[in-house]
Amino acid sequence: MTTQPQHLTILPPDLDIQRIPRHVAVIMDGNGRWAKQRNLPRIMGHQRGVDTLKDLLRCCKDWGIQALTAYAFSTENWGRPLPEVDFLMTLFERVLRREINEMIDEGVQIHFVGDLHCLPASLQAEIERAMEATQHNQKIQFVVATNYGGRREIIQACRAIATQASQGQLNPEDIDEALFERHLYTAGICDPDLLIRTSGEMRVSNFLLWQVAYAEIYVTETLWPDFDRRAFHQALLQYQQRHRRFGRL
């Protein structure tokens, strides 16, 4: 690990340590636009986006955030041109292989959520290896949503529950929110407190539909590759000014 200047690793004094979100989720959008602004191919934006994610993960760890979920590839992203999809799949695999040792050393527990069976076999193998190698790490939970779709997640939970019911292992009356959550990809991970979307789009694009029920939403015009510690600091400052009511007064 490269050593960070001390002032960057400690929590900025204007943030309230008592009100740090437990779980931050990010829709990492704007890689293509970032590249376009520089007359570069879109893939360069994705490449740069990986560095941004790595920095954010480290920042979350430094600032005491317990979980970071990153939207890496949606179930709809297969509709992009094949060379871009191929590039992304290869990039995920390459980055995972390159970063795994550092994640082990830094106490990162990596977890993948999504319909992983549709991913290239070599990527699936790398994912399995990474999840297993980091399963006992406790510094931070790093959740990567890959071939993830909120609707698909809900459907697969319904199927699993319906199967159990049809086999007589479960009464329909026993289905409640807690049981349902145990069948989501994110079982055991607390809901995000803060959902960040970069590059200005005001939509959730099929991300964590169930889990963001009470997340605070922060949208910034900053394009994902430019979303640095300073930008994250701004998001946290705004988060800490929000009054979370959860339907109460």
* 216 in contact with Mg ion (CB under 5 A): no
Q: How far is the CB of 155 from ligand IPE (least distance, A)?
A: 19
Set 14, 16, 62, 77: catalytic member: 77
Q: Output 29 or 191, the one with its CB closest to Mg ion.
A: 29
Residue from 19, 151, 159, 203 touching ligand IPE (CB under 6 A): that is: 203
* Residue 22 · residue 67 · CB < 8 Å: yes
Residue among 34, 62, 64, 39 nearest 49 (CA): 34
Residue from 47, 77, 137, 238 touching ligand IPE (CB under 6 A): that is: 77
Q: Name the E strands within the chain.
A: 23-27, 67-74, 108-113, 140-148, 194-197, 216-219
Q: How far is the CB of 194 from Mg ion (least distance, A)?
A: 20
Backbone angles phi, psi at 55, to 5 degrees: -65, -40
Cα dihedral 58/59/65/68 (nearest 10): -60
Q: How far is the CB of 36 from ligand IPE (least distance, A)?
A: 7
Residue from 20, 21, 26, 29 touching Mg ion (CB under 5 A): that is: 29
> Would the annotation count 76 as a binding residue?
yes
* Residue 125 · residue 155 · CB < 8 Å: no
Q: How far is the CB of 89 from ligand IPE (least distance, A)?
A: 11
Q: Output 90 or 205, the one with its CB closest to ligand IPE.
A: 205
* 86 in contact with ligand IPE (CB under 6 A): no
For tokens 């970069």, the residue is 198
Residue among 81, 141, 77 nearest 114 (CA): 77
* 30 in contact with ligand IPE (CB under 6 A): yes
* 74 in contact with ligand IPE (CB under 6 A): yes
Q: How far is the CB of 230 from ligand IPE (least distance, A)?
A: 20
* 201 in contact with ligand IPE (CB under 6 A): yes
3-state secondary structure of 216: strand
Given the rule CB under 6 A, which of 52-60, 69-77, 168-176, 188-196 is the region that contacts ligand IPE? 69-77
Which pair of tokens denotes residue 164?
């159990």
Residue among 115, 139, 116 nearest 57 (CA): 139
Q: What is the spatial distance between Cα 137 and Cα 108, in angstroms, rounded to a whole number?
A: 6
Q: Which helix (H) or strand (E) holds 56?
A: helix 42-62
- Residue ranges at the known binding site for substrate: 30-34, 42, 46, 74-76, 78, 80, 197, 203-205
Residues belonging to the active site: 29, 77
- Residue ranges at the known binding site for Mg(2+): 29, 216
Residue numbers at the binding site for Mg ion (CB under 5 A): 29
